[in-house]
């Protein structure tokens, strides 16, 4: 038989374990004075900026009867594309290979008299090589001219651009300030409506990011001819921040 001391110790341990989750749950609720009210407000803030940098991808896809032929032609074309980027003023640090692939090209599937397709493995009739680089364009006024140079150099894949800010911190801080002002104004509104007043800010939690507005990126439909530089509209970037703010209200 267990001694009374051992039974008491066991009971205390069980009670402590059972009360721990409850204590942890209580800690998640901010402490406010008795008779006061806790108000949680969700608010958005934003700021706008003209982008000063763009990123896009450019690449070359080539085909050949053998793997070495496809890759050799691709390497020559991509060398010209990268040289065109550098000649247009894009720095080495702003050019990065993002995809290099070599894949077989299969013969078309043969349809049988009954309408089904032949089940035997298809013959490899060639190979396709692809090399793609991502480019950061720091002089936005030159974006159309650079893309035109890429196409003229042999790039047959161009995607983008995505406009960004090289230094977004100031715009983000402006959005945070806007969100705080919105949250406080909303808290004051609720407090007045309820016959209360805002005593203090209890907590602030942040979440959010930037959302670029739609932009235009136009190119000639045909790349076989030397096109005029494509028009590129940078538009505007909207930096947004979302805050959850808790306020203590009192009579």
Do 244 and 150 lie in one domain? The reply is no
Domain end residue (candidates: 164, 189, 223): 164
pLDDT given at position 97: 96
Task: For residues 59 and 44, state if they share a domain.
Answer: no
Residue positions counted in the chain:
251
167 contact partners, CB below 8 Å, separation of at least 6: none
User: Across all residues in the chain, what is the average pLDDT?
Assistant: 82
User: Which of the listed residues 124, 144, 164 is the one where a domain comes to its end?
Assistant: 164
**pTM exceeds 0.95 for this model:** no
Structure tokens at 71: 């890759």
pLDDT digits (tens, 9 = 90+) for 109-166: 777 676 666 666 778 999 999 999 999 999 988 888 898 899 999 999 999 888 999 8
| For residues 86-90, average pLDDT | 93
Residues 144 and 241 in one domain: no
Q: Into how many domains does the chain fold?
A: 2
Instruction: With cut-offs at 50, 70 and 90, classify the pLDDT of residue 18.
Output: very low
Find the CATH number of the domain harbouring 118: 3.30.70.2970
Q: Domain of residue 206: give its range.
A: 31-52+165-251
Number of neighbouring beta carbons within 10 Å of residue 127: 20
**Is residue 101 one of the residues assigned to a domain?**
yes
């Amino acid at each position: 038989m267990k001694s009374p001391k051992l039974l008491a110790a066991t009971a205390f341990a069980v009670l402590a374990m059972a009360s721990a989750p409850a204590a942890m749950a209580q800690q998640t609720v901010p402490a406010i004075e008795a008779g006061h009210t806790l108000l949680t407000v969700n608010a958005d803030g934003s700021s706008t900026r003209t982008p000063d940098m763009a990123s896009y991808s450019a690449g070359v896809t080539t085909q050949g009867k053998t793997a070495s032929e496809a890759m050799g032609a691709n390497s020559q074309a991509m060398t010209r594309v990268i040289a065109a980027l550098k000649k247009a003023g894009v720095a080495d640090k702003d050019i990065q290979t993002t995809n290099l692939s070599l894949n077989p090209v299969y013969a078309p599937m043969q349809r049988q008299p009954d309408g089904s397709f032949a089940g035997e493995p298809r013959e490899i009739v060639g190979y396709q090589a692809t090399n793609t680089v991502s480019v950061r364009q720091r002089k936005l006024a030159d974006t159309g001219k650079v893309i035109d140079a890429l196409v003229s150099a042999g790039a047959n894949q161009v995607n983008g651009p995505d406009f960004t800010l090289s230094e977004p911190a100031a715009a983000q801080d402006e959005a945070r300030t806007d969100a705080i002002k919105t949250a406080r104004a909303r808290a004051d509104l609720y407090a007045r409506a309820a016959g209360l007043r805002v005593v203090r800010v209890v907590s602030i939690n942040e979440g959010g990011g930037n959302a670029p507005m739609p932009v235009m990126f136009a190119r000639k439909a045909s790349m076989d001819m030397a096109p005029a530089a494509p028009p590129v509209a940078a538009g505007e970037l909207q930096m947004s921040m979302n805050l959850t703010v808790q306020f203590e209200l009192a009579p």
